[in-house]
Amino acid sequence: MTDQPAASPLDASLSRDIARPVLPRRVAVIGLGVMGGPIARHLGHAGHDLTLYNRSPARVDRWLTANPDLAATIVNTPAAAAEAADVVITCVGNDDDIAEVVLGPQGVITTLRPGGLFIDHTSVSARIARQIAVEARDKEVLCVDAPMTGAQAGAEAGTLTLMCGGRADAIAAAAPVMGAYARRIVHVGKAGTGQATKMVNQICLAGITASLAEAFRLAQAEHLDLEKVFEAISGGAAQSWTMDNRWHSMAEDRFDFGFAIDWMRKDLGLALDEGRGLGLSFPVTALLDQLFADVQAMGGGRQDTSAILRRLPKRGGK
């Protein structure tokens, strides 16, 4: 579900697999939110035979209305979605959600055929990713944990970056399918390493966003021309995707878009838990998590992470 659009070229080790023409596959997409919905659309336009499941039927109806040119089979359970599929792709909310749709009594793993492919794009714990990989292995199912960065804009444009954990044969099988909606696909290691890499990404992103907000408040307090400040600093060492894409929206006090603070807090929680399990302490990340929690308490949980600016008082504490 983070973050910043990918602008880098394809990972060299996978570019051949992505570029190779892909025969239409029977692809089930589970979870049609701000990321899963566009992913399903790209897969449909790539010629794949779609089956769709979402816990909320209203979201399925919205997807069908928004994509009248695409045909899809609608089912009532994850198991039904996987039953006739070659590939199952999930993009849901958290550990409990992915456990239910994959490992539950009506989960994907109960019906996905041996030799089938399972791809999870949810940002979850490395632990649940490894557990799913073991269950998939026992069912002779190829399994990839592939959390994303690129945010909603990257999903809409089909330019996501995917950080993938799993066996090499699973990644090779998944890459041509994922190439319908991803610009860069990187195999980072064994099962669970995709999720761990996403935690690294989110720690970086949270820090960049918070420091940008503090710099922005200083520019305001000094009564600087915000456009001139952006022009001066965005071409140097301080430049970042976050600056390029959030400076102007912060100037407009506009936050009702982008990667929600609720989701950032979920991801930072995963990173903090992972660190504790490894005997590590992340004091800066813990502080950032608290600042985001303060914005949640102000009613900003569904706002973009740049709304952390609201936590920082303007000049004079007002």
* Three-class secondary structure assignment of 30-62: ECCCCCHHHHHHHHHHCCCEEEEECCCHHHHHH
Q: Is residue 1 part of a domain?
A: no
* Mean pLDDT value across residues 245-255: 97
pLDDT digits (tens, 9 = 90+) for 82-114: 999 999 999 999 999 999 999 999 999 999 999
* Mean pLDDT value across residues 244-267: 96
The number of distinct structural domains making up the chain is 2
Q: Which band of pLDDT confidence, cut at 50, 70 and 90, is reported for residue 151?
A: confident
198 is catalytic: yes
Q: Is residue 177 part of a domain?
A: yes
Contact between 232 and 259 under an 8 Å Cβ cutoff? The reply is no
User: Is the same domain home to 81 and 176?
Assistant: yes
Among 198, 228, 266, 314, which one carries the catalytic annotation? 198
Report the distance separating Cα 80 and Cα 61, nearest Å: 18
Domain boundary among the residues 189, 210, 239 is at 189
Report the distance separating Cα 142 and Cα 286, nearest Å: 36
User: Is the same domain home to 38 and 182?
Assistant: yes
* Helices and strands, number each (H, E), in the chain: 13, 9
Report the distance separating Cα 215 and Cα 240, nearest Å: 13
Classify 260 in phi/psi space as left (phi over 0), alpha (psi -120 to 50) or beta: beta
Q: Is residue 24 part of a domain?
A: yes
Range of the domain at 56: 12-189
Contact between 191 and 164 under an 8 Å Cβ cutoff? The reply is no
User: Is the same domain home to 311 and 175?
Assistant: no
Task: Quote the pTM value.
Answer: 0.89
